[in-house]
A and B are shown apart, each in its own frame.
Chain A
């Protein structure tokens, strides 16, 4: 695996893979049936971009072998704190998935509380006050001042009854 321990090389490989997949779909994009003689079609630019990306990705790969460019990934991530970062990612994903069920107020409040906790904040009262204050303030501004609709959520609807 040592051969993959190079930032430029892995980056080049990933972009190469993306560009090849993109090219595969770019080549079969539908064409405009009403304009069969068009010189510049929906495929022209995507194909061009994919080919250029493949060429430059290969150049990047070659440079990482011949020119010795790109540092070690293992070196770069030494001491990285993966746990909180991954937890925050999961938290954000959970927020987006639970938003419609819990509604804006509950989900946002929970998001901030858990976020503070993941980041190591243990003062519960402070966390509750900051999260509650921010969410309420934003809610009041958006719904009361601007008349925007923020989903109260299925949960709130179940408790309060259908409000439409």
Chain B
């Protein structure tokens, strides 16, 4: 194993490969900023370009693109509220408000440090526990995934502050309903009204661009706040600043630590992945935060940004466990990575791990080098990237709209999706005016499909009985944690409420 690691290091740190990872990170960052081109398409598009290269260099280039694209995705989520991949949705929750407060540089820096920490912890856990982890990734069954998705839904609590409980629940339900459009697991078309354009359901990107990026850009136009340049002019000097005070670092560090570990272990599970990890980390940090910090979530909390961003990256690293130890791609991204590995003649899996550890370790190490270079490359770039926001509003708004439209077009190349997106965007503006939160809608939508799939599978396997809820230890444990997460605040507020002679928890 040591030999393998040394060979891997030698390969990864040769000058030509360092150059490759540099180019990859750079290209990836910019490609990833375009909402439609997440890590999956970025890698798919880069594979033919890397054909002529030596396999090791090609892989390292791809690793660079991969990390670059993930960071690029967070960038557009933070700067213009346009999460192009589902893993970046939770990043937008607090990253965008932070950027709006004139702290774009700081937000990007937190994201970069968080990603780096998540990737590092992930890589260390990978190095130490690989043989053992293959078993872990296979210990979860559909019933357990169902419980995990349900637990993920509790992140909605973060949007149910003062008197917003019912609204947050309603919007989650709406998201779940939208997720039912299209072909269901039993092959039935639901809510398609015979229209072929609905067969594949509503795409995540379309919904996230319409409800987050479009709605936000249009609301800014409505409020006219961007029209007067004074507000943004005042902040412009601070915009690029990425200085974190030691208090802030101390505030974020524990959240980063917890989220790395949580993210990694969720990432190992082939059916869960980076998105669930980011939601769980976000929900967990909000629940763990002390009272006053809790209020900041959704409103530009540093912890609320660091947690999902860290977990997201740790989970991406974790998702290499099933790929490298079993040869099974657990997510769309690892599926594309598998394609890339195969086209270089590297077949990942336990046999590879035993037969030729050098290749195995050089893959892991070159992935990790991508993570380091990304930090080295992006920290100096952040001040410039965040200056994007100082582009005058009258130019920026149409550009944001254009890039959101292009992002959706690039996924399906279908202009009907564009019309649908504009319609949903208009509805989202109405929802915003009525003060209903849109984040739970997207959360419900993302989790909805997986929730139903896993529940239906579990019920099929258990012959229609719900016994798995208490007979499977993992399911039962997660269900208990879910219930506690939901009940503790209610009990707490009931007790506080009694003290203050306010018996109804909904009325606070």
Residues of chain A touching chain B, judged by Cβ–Cβ distance below 8 Å, are: 7-8, 10-12, 14-15, 18-19, 22, 25, 29-32, 35, 38-42, 45-46, 49-50, 52-53, 56-57, 59-60, 63, 67, 69-71, 73, 76-77, 79-82, 84-85, 88-89, 92-93, 95-97, 99-100, 108, 111-112, 115-116, 118-121, 127, 130, 134, 138, 142, 145-149, 151
Quick check: is B433 within 8 A (CB to CB) of the other chain? yes
Interchain nearest-CB distance for B435 vs A (Å): 5
26 A-B pairs within 8 Å (CB atoms) are namely A25-B191, A40-B456, A45-B176, A45-B452, A46-B180, A46-B190, A49-B180, A53-B177, A56-B166, A56-B173, A59-B166, A67-B507, A81-B227, A88-B218, A88-B398, A92-B405, A96-B419, A96-B422, A97-B419, A100-B415, A115-B401, A115-B402, A116-B394, A116-B398, A119-B398, A138-B34
Quick check: is B475 within 8 A (CB to CB) of the other chain? no
A73-B188 in contact (CB<8A): no
A96-B415 in contact (CB<8A): yes
Interchain nearest-CB distance for B401 vs A (Å): 6
Chain A residues near B452: list those with CB within 8 A. 45
Determine the distance from Cα of A27 to Cα of B166 in the docked complex, in whole angstroms: 25
Given contacts A15-B174, A92-B405, A121-B395, 18 further A-B contacts (CB under 8 A): A11-B167, A11-B435, A25-B191, A32-B188, A40-B456, A42-B184, A53-B170, A71-B435, A77-B433, A79-B223, A92-B401, A95-B405, A116-B394, A119-B393, A121-B392, A130-B395, A149-B413, A151-B413
Determine the distance from Cα of A10 to Cα of B189 in the docked complex, in whole angstroms: 31
Known: A10-B434, A96-B422. A53 touches B173 (CB 8 A): yes
Which of B167, B174, B191 contacts A60, CB < 8 Å? B167
Residues of chain B touching chain A, judged by Cβ–Cβ distance below 8 Å, are: 34, 45, 48-49, 163, 166-167, 169-170, 173-174, 176-177, 180, 184, 186-191, 214, 218, 221-224, 227, 392-395, 397-399, 401-402, 405-406, 409-410, 413, 415-416, 418-419, 421-422, 425-426, 429-431, 433-436, 452, 455-456, 459-460, 464, 506-507
Interchain nearest-CB distance for A45 vs B (Å): 5
A40-B464 in contact (CB<8A): yes
Chain B residues near A127: list those with CB within 8 A. 395
Chain A residues near B392: list those with CB within 8 A. 121
Which of A30, A49, A57, A96 contacts B177, CB < 8 Å? A49
Chain B residues near A92: list those with CB within 8 A. 214, 401, 405, 418, 422, 425
B427 nearest in chain A by CB position: A14
Chain B residues near A18: list those with CB within 8 A. 174, 177
Chain B, interface SS category: helix
B193 nearest in chain A by CB position: A25
Determine the distance from Cα of A138 to Cα of B166 in the docked complex, in whole angstroms: 43
A119-B419 in contact (CB<8A): no
Which of A15, A82, A121, A142 contacts B170, CB < 8 Å? A15
Chain B residues near A134: list those with CB within 8 A. 399, 402
Determine the distance from Cα of A15 to Cα of B214 in the docked complex, in whole angstroms: 21
Determine the distance from Cα of A104 to Cα of B186 in the docked complex, in whole angstroms: 39
Chain A residues near B413: list those with CB within 8 A. 149, 151
Which of B425, B429, B434 contacts A73, CB < 8 Å? B434
A119-B394 in contact (CB<8A): yes
A45 nearest in chain B by CB position: B452
Residue from the set B221, B409, B419, B435 with the largest chain A CB neighbour count within 10 Å: B221
A80-B223 in contact (CB<8A): yes
A11-B464 in contact (CB<8A): no
Which of A38, A97, A111 contacts B186, CB < 8 Å? A38
Chain A residues near B173: list those with CB within 8 A. 19, 49, 52-53, 56
A82 nearest in chain B by CB position: B222
B188-A29 in contact (CB<8A): yes
Determine the distance from Cα of A49 to Cα of B441 in the docked complex, in whole angstroms: 13
Determine the distance from Cα of A157 to Cα of B205 in the docked complex, in whole angstroms: 30
B398-A111 in contact (CB<8A): yes
